[in-house]
Amino acid sequence: MLRRTLAATLRRYELPSINRKSATAEFFVQPSRHLMNTSVKMNRAPDLTGSADARTAAAVHSPLIIQVALATPLTKLFDYYAPTATPEQPAPKLGARVRVPFGPRQMVGFVAGFGRSSNADIALKTALKVIDSKPLLPAELWDTLNFAARYYHHSLGEVLNTAVPTALRDGSESKARGVPMFRASAHAANAAVLRGPAQRALLALLTEREHSDSELNIALPGWRAVFLALKRKDLAEQWTAASFIPPGVALAGPQLNAEQAEAVRAIGAQTGVFAPFLLNGVTGSGKTEVYLHAAAKVLARGQTVLVLVPEIGLTPQTLRRFAQRLAVPQVVAHSQLSDTERAYGWQQARSGAARLVLGTRSAVFAPLPNLGLIILDEEHDGSYKQLDGFRYHARDLALKRAQTLKIAIVLGSATPSLEMLKAANENRITTLHLRARAAASALPSQAVLDIRGQSLDEGLATRSILAIRECLMSGGQALILRNRRGFAAQLECVSCGHVEHCPRCDRALTLHRAAGALRCHYCDLRQPLRMDCSQCASTELTALGVGTERVEIALARLFPEWPILRVDRDTVSTKGAMEAKLKTLENGKPCILVGTQMLAKGHDLPDIALVLVLGADDGLHAQDFRASERLAQLLLQVAGRAGRASRPGTVLIQTHQPEHPLLQAVIGGDYAQVVQLLMAERRATELPPFAYAALLRADAIKKDALDAYLQAARALFHQLNPDASSVQIFGPMPAGLAKRAGRHRAQLVLMCSQRAPLHQAIEPWIAALHAGKKPGNVHFSLDIDPYEFG
C-alpha cells in the first residue's frame, strides 16, 4: 500500500516506453565470465599484507603479475607483469604507484593485487617502473578507499586519484615546495638579553609571531644576516609553510558548561573502539568548544586529528579558532588551494609534520598517520556529497574510516540529517545533547507572516518593511534571506508571452541587471541583455521573480540612510571576500545584510536582531524528496544566526501557506518536531532513510538515443537479476533538469528496503553497462545514496 505511494509518485515521471522489443539488451554485451570474475575479485576484502601474496605469486608464476588500478571508468583492474626486481627497483608492494603502458600512452596506477585478475588469455605487458618503494597511503586509508570503490561501484583507480593531489597523480615525486617562514626557537624565551639592537629587534618580531621573508624585508631591511646570527645562537629558526596555519599559542577558552564537559568526557572516554557520536546542539550551544577540547585531548595523546567543515571560505572564524586554541602545526585542505599548496599540505599530513588537518569534503582522505579523532561539523550539509564523478558522501566515508581505525568520530549539527537521527534512534550512534545556548542568549522568537492577498514591493510585504525599519531604528542589524541570486528569475514578453530560455538547458535565463546580462545558472551561459523580445520584437518586457540583486535595489530605495551589504555568489567569489564583507558588520552599527543561503552557514553574526525570509514557499513546493528537510534546516540555521549576543532576535518568514505544518514546526523552533513530520513522510513514502536508493543517470545529445539506452538498461537489469524482486526500478524518467548544456538527461531510480540486495543487483549490471556499447554517445553514471533525485 505504502509502496504503491512511492511507485505511483515515481511512475508519474516515467517516460512513455518506446517500442520495448527493440530496446532490449542489444546494446550491451552479455556480462562475460571475465567481467563477473573481476567484480567478484574487487569485492574481496583488500589484502593489506600484500607481500605474502606477492611471494606466493612470484614463486608459482614467474614473473610476478600485478593487478593495477588505473584511473579509467572501468570498474576492473588491469594485469601487468611486474618489472624484473633489482636492488634499485624491488618487487612492487600493494598500494605502490607503478607506471604502465596503456594503449598508445603511459599511465600511473596503484598496485591493487597480485596474480591474474581475469582468466583472459591475452598476452600481458610489463609495467615500466615501480614508483614507490612503500605504499603511498596509510593502510587504513587504503582499506577505506577500497571499500569506497566497492560500495559506490566506482573505478578503484579513479577513487584513489581522488585521494591523491594532482601533483602526485602523474607519478612524480613531490613537486611541492613550501613557503619559508622564520620564527623564534623554543630557547628564545629563556635567552639572556641580547646586546645587538638589530638582533633584539628581529627576535622581538619573531617572538611575537612568525614572519615570511617578504614581511621581514619590509619590517627590517638587512634582516637576513641578523637572522643567521640568531640561528647560530639557536634562538631563531627557519621552517617551511604553505597552506599551513602556524602552530597557535593555545589560548584558553571559556569554562565548559556541564553538558559540554560531559560531551568531551564521553568522546574521550573510549579508546581503541569505533565510537560514533552525534553532537546535537542548537547554533551557539558551544559545539565548536567541544570539538576543540576533544581534539586537544587526542593531540595530547600524541595522535592526529581530522576536522571536516562544509565550506572553508564561509567559516574563517572556525579556522581561526582552531589555530589559536590548539598549539600544533595544522594544515588546511580545500578546493581554493593551488595544486602545489595542496600537494605540500598533503605531504605535511602524511609525514605527520601537521598534526591536524582542517578541510572540506575531499579532506576526508587526508593521509594523517596515527589518526585519533574525526570531527565533522554541520553533518547535515549537502556539500559533503560529491555530485559528479566519484559521487561519495564524505560523512559516510568518515564513519567508515573511523570504524576501520577504531576511533571516535563526532558529527555535529543543530539540525541533524534524518539518516543520522534514524541511526541514533537505532543506537548505532550515540547522541550528545547541548540544549542551551552557551553564551546565555535567548533563542529568537519566530513567526510566519501571511502574505496572501497582499501586494509586495519587490518581494517585500509592508509589515516586513516596517519590521526592518523598527530593527534599524532601535540600533539593530537586519538579515534578509532570499535564496536566489540575480535580479529576476525570468524575462517575459508582455505582447507574446515568450520567456527567454537558455538554448542549451531546460531553464529560463536569469536577469542580472547590473551586469546587463541574461545568465543561465545551470551552464553559465551569458548573453547581453536585449531590450526587445527575440520572438516578436516587442519592447514591452517584464522581469518576473525577485532575486537578491532586486531586493538590494528595493532596500536601497526604502532605506537610503543605512548601509546595505549583499552576499551571494555574484558579490562574494574570491578568497576572503566573505570575511571582508562581514568584517564591516563587526562594528555592530545598524545595517542590512541581504543574501542567499551563504549567509546561513557557519558565521556568527552577533548583532543581527531581525531575520526576514523571502520566498520560503519555493522550498515547500520543490519536487525533490529532500527539499522540505533542506528548507527546515536552512530556516533554523539562519534563525540561529540571529540574536547571538545580548540582543534577542526575531525571525519572520513570509509565506502564502502560514498554516503549513512544516513552517509551524519551524517557527516553534523545535527541530525535533520538524523531524517527526519529515520522518513520518519519508516512512510513508518509503524514501531514504527508510529505503536505499541508487540512480543511473544518463545524458545524450539526442533524446531518442537516451530513452532507448535507459529502456535497454532497465531490461538488462531484469535479465541479470531475475530474482531481485526486492529491488524496484523506476523509469526512465527525465532528470529534474531535463536538459543541461545541450544534453538531454534522464535516469532510472532503483529502490530497495535493504542495502545488500540493492548492491548485489547493481554489481553485475554496472559492469555490463561499462562493457556495453553506448550508441548515440550516451554518457552514464551511477549515484549510490543520491542526495537528490534529479
Q: Out of 319, 479, 533, 652, which residue is the one contacting Zn ion (CB under 5 A)?
A: 533
Among ligand ADP, Zn ion, none, what binds residue 200 when CB lies within 5 to 8 Å by partner kind? none
Q: Out of 62, 238, 538, 726, which residue is the one contacting Zn ion (CB under 5 A)?
A: 538
CB of 503 to Zn ion, least distance (A): 8
Among Zn ion, ligand ADP, none, what binds residue 257 when CB lies within 5 to 8 Å by partner kind? ligand ADP
Q: How many Å is the Cα radius of gyration of the chain?
A: 29
Three-state DSSP at 282 gives: coil
CB of 474 to ligand ADP, least distance (A): 23
Q: Which three cell numbers stand for residue 589?
A: 552599527
**Mask: binding to ligand ADP, 427-466, rule CB under 6 A, as x and -?**
-----------xx---------------------------
- Of 619, 681, 676, the residue nearest 6 (C-alpha): 681
- Of 381, 789, 504, the residue nearest 622 (C-alpha): 789
Three-state DSSP at 771 gives: helix
Nearer to ligand ADP, 202 or 264 (CB): 264
Q: Does residue 316 interact with ligand ADP by CB under 6 A?
A: no
Which letter does DSSP use for residue 133 in this model? S
- Calculate ∠ Cα 193-194-196, nearest 5°: 150
- Of 239, 232, 238, the residue nearest 194 (C-alpha): 232
User: Which residues are CB-neighbours of 20 under 8 A, at least 6 positions away?
Assistant: 711, 715
Q: Out of 83, 95, 135, 284, which residue is the one contacting ligand ADP (CB under 6 A)?
A: 284
Among ligand ADP, Zn ion, none, what binds residue 19 when CB lies within 5 to 8 Å by partner kind? none
CB of 286 to ligand ADP, least distance (A): 3
Q: Does residue 633 interact with ligand ADP by CB under 6 A?
A: no
Q: Out of 135, 286, 345, 734, which residue is the one contacting ligand ADP (CB under 6 A)?
A: 286
Euclidean distance between CA atoms 314 and 377, whole angstroms: 13
Q: Does residue 614 interact with Zn ion by CB under 5 A?
A: no
Q: Does residue 513 interact with Zn ion by CB under 5 A?
A: no
User: HSE of 677 in the Cβ direction (CA atoms, 13 Å)?
Assistant: 15
- Of 698, 704, 693, the residue nearest 769 (C-alpha): 698
Q: Which three cell numbers stand for residue 606?
A: 552577533
Q: Out of 140, 158, 259, 289, which residue is the one contacting ligand ADP (CB under 6 A)?
A: 289
Angle between helices 33-43 and 755-771 (to 10 degrees): 140
Neighbours of 597 (CB within 10 A): 18
CB of 291 to ligand ADP, least distance (A): 8
The answer to whether 347 touches 176, Cβ cutoff 8 Å, is yes
Task: Pick the piece of the chain touching ligand ADP (CB under 6 A) from 14-22, 93-101, 283-291, 689-697.
Answer: 283-291
Cell 553506448, located at residue:
774
Q: Does residue 509 interact with Zn ion by CB under 5 A?
A: no
User: What element of type H or E holds 619?
Assistant: helix 616-621
- Of 480, 483, 544, 557, the residue nearest 518 (C-alpha): 544
Nearer to ligand ADP, 287 or 393 (CB): 287
Nearer to ligand ADP, 66 or 292 (CB): 292
User: What element of type H or E holds 263?
Assistant: helix 258-269
Q: Does residue 518 interact with Zn ion by CB under 5 A?
A: no
CB of 366 to ligand ADP, least distance (A): 22
- Which positions from 442 through 501 interact with Zn ion, judged by CB under 5 A? 493, 495-496, 498
Nearer to Zn ion, 504 or 718 (CB): 504
Q: How many residues bind ligand ADP (CB under 6 A)?
A: 15
The answer to whether 68 touches 126, Cβ cutoff 8 Å, is no
Q: Out of 38, 118, 155, 288, which residue is the one contacting ligand ADP (CB under 6 A)?
A: 288
Q: Out of 442, 536, 672, 756, which residue is the one contacting Zn ion (CB under 5 A)?
A: 536
- Of 727, 155, 109, 626, the residue nearest 392 (C-alpha): 155
Nearer to Zn ion, 332 or 493 (CB): 493
Nearer to Zn ion, 319 or 520 (CB): 520
Among Zn ion, ligand ADP, none, what binds residue 725 when CB lies within 5 to 8 Å by partner kind? none
User: Which residues are CB-neighbours of 245 under 8 A, at least 6 positions away?
Assistant: 319, 322, 323, 329, 330, 331, 332, 358
Q: Out of 520, 555, 639, 691, which residue is the one contacting Zn ion (CB under 5 A)?
A: 520
- Which positions from 758 through 787 interact with ligand ADP, judged by CB under 6 A? none
- Which positions from 220 through 279 interact with ligand ADP, judged by CB under 6 A? 254-257, 260
Q: Out of 465, 525, 622, 737, which residue is the one contacting Zn ion (CB under 5 A)?
A: 525
Euclidean distance between CA atoms 266 and 346, whole angstroms: 31
The answer to whether 395 touches 384, Cβ cutoff 8 Å, is yes
The answer to whether 74 touches 159, Cβ cutoff 8 Å, is no
Interface with Zn ion (CB under 5 A): 493, 495-496, 498, 502, 504-505, 520, 522-523, 525, 533, 535-536, 538
Interface with ligand ADP (CB under 6 A): 254-257, 260, 281, 283-289, 438-439
